Amino acid sequence: MFSQNPFVELSNLIPVEAMQGFVIIMFLLVFGGTIYDMIEKQNATYFFRNWRKSKLSKIREISFSEMLVIIFKTITVDVFSAAEFCNFNRRLAHLLTFYGFIGYVITTIVMVFCYLPEQSITPEFIPTIWYFSALLISVGCYWFWFFIRVDVAAEGNSRFRLVQADIFVLSLAISSTFAIAWGLTQSSNPLISNIFLLLYLVSNLVLFGSIPWSKFAHMFYKPGAALQKRVADADGSRRNLPEPSDNPSIYGSAKRMPRNY
């Protein structure tokens, strides 16, 4: 069951071209939604403005080899290891969702565009990775939703309280859950499977269609922000603030410094 391409069975109901077109539309929604988010919230403008400021205040030049090392560290540490999260549970939930989403997207594309013709046989490991990746997404998202969300723990709000920032994680969790349910019920109960399929498609439309109002686009901003921070550390532009004085007589004594120092 976990080794069967669920889209092959679906091709008996929906034309292959329609499925491929749906995937392409999802990518266009990601691209268009991210561009809209950048223009509406001016995130790109803010990023490049800070980048120019840091270049003006740098105290040393970074060599090409140093830049390659910085890029490598950004990818391996900040992106693939989620080093920004100090809390272990939050970091693990993020990594489960992150790697699950990558595996889920890649295997979906491969199964839909490479192995849908009836004469093609999908290697068993690809659908297995697809199911496993969807499971990782579900575990990571539900773990975050029910046990990690800051507003629930700090403010005592209900776990079912919804705000705009929750659109991404909740729609992603629901989409991956319906994907698993749809695939597992294909052979046992076609009617229930078609219901899960409809819910799966709707949840994907919500996930990718709500990008301008969700935090989906943040996954594209964070690597750039992490790279900018590492470059600023390397060229000294983050150290352009004056150092505290070693002379305590300025404030009478080191113990009597004003509170706003």
Contact 38, 44 (CB under 8 A): yes
Could you please report the per-residue DSSP string of the chain? -TTS-HHHHHTTTS-HHHHHHHHHHHHHHHHHHHHHHHHHH-HHHHHHHHHHHHHHT-SSPPPHHHHHHHHHHIIIIIISS-TT--SHHHHHHHHHHHHHHHHHHHHHHHHHHHS-STT----THHHHHHHHHHHHHHHHHHHIIIII-HHHHHH---TT---GGGHHHHHHHHHHHHHHHHHHTTTT-HHHHHHHHHHHHHHHHHHHHTGGGSSTTHHHHHHHHHHHHHHHHHHTGGG-SPPPPS-GGGGSSGGG--TT-
Task: Decide if 56 is inside a domain.
Answer: yes
Provide the number of structural domains found in the chain. 1
Query: Could you tell me which residues come within 8 angstroms of residue 29 by beta carbon, excluding any fewer than 6 positions away?
Result: 208, 209, 211
If you average pLDDT over residues 170-183, what whole number do you get? 94
pLDDT tens by residue, 106-145? 999 999 998 876 657 889 999 999 999 999 999 999 988 8
Contact 29, 213 (CB under 8 A): no
Task: Decide if 85 is inside a domain.
Answer: yes
The lowest-confidence range among 27-41, 105-119, 182-196, 235-249 is: 235-249
Task: Decide if 257 is inside a domain.
Answer: no
Could you please report the per-residue DSSP string of 81-139? S-TT--SHHHHHHHHHHHHHHHHHHHHHHHHHHHS-STT----THHHHHHHHHHHHHHH
Show the domain range for 63: 6-154+161-233
Task: Decide if 252 is inside a domain.
Answer: no
**Nearest-CA neighbor of 137 among 95, 79, 165?**
95
Helix axis angle, 16-41 to 190-209, nearest 10°: 30
The DSSP code for 245 is P
Q: How many CA atoms lie within 13 A of 71 on its CB side?
A: 7
pLDDT tens by residue, 152-167? 655 666 666 777 778 8
What is the identity of the amino acid at 158?
Answer: S
Task: Decide if 261 is inside a domain.
Answer: no
Task: Decide if 82 is inside a domain.
Answer: yes
> Residue 212: which pLDDT band, with cuts at 50, 70 and 90?
confident
If you average pLDDT over residues 237-257, what whole number do you get? 45
Question: What's residue 253's pLDDT?
Answer: 41
> Residue 227: which pLDDT band, with cuts at 50, 70 and 90?
confident
Extract the tokens encoding 58: 């740098």
- Model's pTM, two decimal places? 0.77
Which has the higher per-residue pLDDT, 136 or 78? 136
Task: Decide if 21 is inside a domain.
Answer: yes
Task: Decide if 27 is inside a domain.
Answer: yes
Contact 169, 96 (CB under 8 A): no
Question: What's residue 116's pLDDT?
Answer: 79
